[in-house]
Chains A and B, each alone.
Chain A
Amino acid sequence: MGLGELLSGVEDASLSWGSDEESAGSSEARIPLLRFRVEGDAFAVEAAHVREIVGRVSLTALPGAPAHIRGIMVLRRQVVGVLDLGRFLKLDRLDATVAIGPSAARIVILETALFTVGIYVDQVEGLDSWPQSAVQAHDVPESISKRTRSFARAARFEDESLTILLNIEKLLDDAAVR
């Protein structure tokens, strides 16, 4: 299989940049996002912050670390800390092995100006893009928990499901233990 065929396979799968119909007829700038699920809730981060997504890796517990730090791993000679977003946001815990299956779990490596951090997610749903106005509106419903809202940049209903766009700089800054 050539690289082109490999890429077309990826493009056909869920990791595609929205549909053509979605982007056609709208001149508004769109912001690319990565969507994922943690404890059944849907979240998104700006794709610009996503360095890579890794599958099964062995995590080492960090002695003395708070519960929201799931562990650390070595990725190409770099130590990366992995955040348990479910614990950090105090989400109700689902039995992920029943709800999704453990093989769907991934670690999303995020980069900001200050931090490189992995986020443990139950399932990566794919790439998406939201209109800039939806991101700037900061329209976050009050039905979600106060803690999650404090790290939300925006929220959007799609297919009767709410996706929360995380303010990743604020989240990582608050999760850091200095």
Chain B
Amino acid sequence: MAINKVVGSFDEAVADIADGAMLHIGGFGGPGECPSYLIAAVARRKPRGLTVTGNLGGWGVAMIAALRERLAAMLPFPDDFYDLGLLVEQGCVRKGILAFPAAPGNAEFPFELLLREGKAELELLGQGSLAERIRAARAGIAAFYTPVGVGTVAAEGKEIREFGGVPHVLEHALRADFSLIRAYKADRWGNLIYHGTGRTMNATMAGAARVTLAEVDEVVDLGELDPECVVTPGIYVERVVVRPKQPKRWDERS
């Protein structure tokens, strides 16, 4: 029996994401590097009470449509860009561990609305501690100390200890049930490469969960990925799903 981590559909890939699960959501905030089809499949399944980690609180469907129009002359948004905001809008999210939960300026993410209604909980972190806490989970490290955040809301209620006269805050690893990530190419062993700034939180989150799901543009034969250039070794990846060639709406099966 040959190893084959490629799963036939997004619906199948997310079928065991249950109520109350903790999810790392890859991407950064741009329209390219987001695991849109994995997010859409979870939104169709509609689990409740999820804890999510990621950079952005998420725009949601309506704001992405507005941005697509507004930024058309600057940055083309793909038709099939769906972000964490969709999961918030579908009522799936109970807690966010996020670095960018508040939209810029006067805009408001769906998650902010939820917070204001008292229907969600936020743990605000800088991107560095967020990324390192996720990396720590991948590496089996329970917790680490960093000076970043001491004296601010990011360190509230956390242990403080001095090293070399500088106060550090103890940050615990964030291990999720599932990591939802976007990559460029995979092979059937789950080796991954990324494209440009698409690496970002996606490569960070690979392996930081019980199950890592990678949404990719293409699966290539074993040996086609240059072993010198594999970014995420397949040992960190449990499932690979290929994006459809033609864009689909989030509520269509994929």
Real complex partners, A and B? no
